[in-house]
Structure 1
């Protein structure tokens, strides 16, 4: 089962990165009507939340700057951004690096019980599946937004 999960991470992240690579800087910064955020935000959000779910960011992971929570965490939005905001290119590089770290997670960890259930999830493997669902959801949002944004 773990082999399938990690294969799914590789495939989903590959599609995500391919979509990101096809987006211009102008497209990434537009917030279409009826959408809460920009493509730029979605990219950073997927990176940040996956790091939270799987690596314990920001307490246990040093791979992302701590200000990513304020920029891309749940409930944030680009209209409130201040300070140093990483570019889409920087975020894409960090997404690639993160995939490498995900693939290094020991398969045995997937069966480990969470200290406290989260959204009804009880094991680390269930949380990893949630991270995949989350990434796929935001990939769909990016795809839809891209169709609406005219260069």
Structure 2
């Protein structure tokens, strides 16, 4: 992986992990008014989307259970969850493992052109950069949800 790209991804991931790890477990499954999902969902979503962007999950990667698509893909929500749902702690372990697997991606891969452009992006490296943006955006949602939940609980 290009050094700058990896450092950016690692910085975003470490910030994400630090923030989520510091959360009180009692708030991760609360869905506050005005939000479509829970913190728990956001954590699984970040993991699942990064796996899609970087490893072609679910068709090319078996590092995550296939049911993660039904649980955490775009458009899913906790209200529809059935069966085994991994805990936030389990997801954090998988997020840490995922960053280690990212380090093993050959640097030249990031210059590869996509067969079909994705959201105007044309290379694998551009999609990886989108993953960094995506992770940071969801961390912002988690931080906002934490404030709203804690404010409501304080009343």
TM range (shorter): over 0.9
Take 2:104 and 2:19, find their aligned partners in 1: how far apart are those partners?
24
Structure 1 regions of 5+ residues with no counterpart?
none
- Alignment TM-score, normalising by the size of structure 2: 0.95
Alignment partner, residue 102 of structure 1: 102
- Alignment TM-score, normalising by the size of structure 1: 0.98
Cα drift, residue 145 of structure 1: 0.6
Cα offsets for 1:83-125 (capped at 9, x unmatched): 0000000000000000001111111001000011010000000
Counterpart mapping for 1:46-61 below 5 A: 46-61=46-61
Say what the alpha-carbon RMSD is for the aligned residues. 1.0
Q: Which secondary structure does the structure 2 equivalent of 1:116 belong to? A: strand
Q: Which secondary structure does the structure 2 equivalent of 1:74 belong to? A: coil
Take 2:26 and 2:63, find their aligned partners in 1: how far apart are those partners?
27
Alignment partner, residue 70 of structure 1: 70
Cα drift, residue 148 of structure 1: 1.1
Take 2:125 and 2:119, find their aligned partners in 1: how far apart are those partners?
13
Structure 2 regions of 5+ residues with no counterpart?
none
Counterpart mapping for 1:1-151 below 5 A: 2-150=2-150
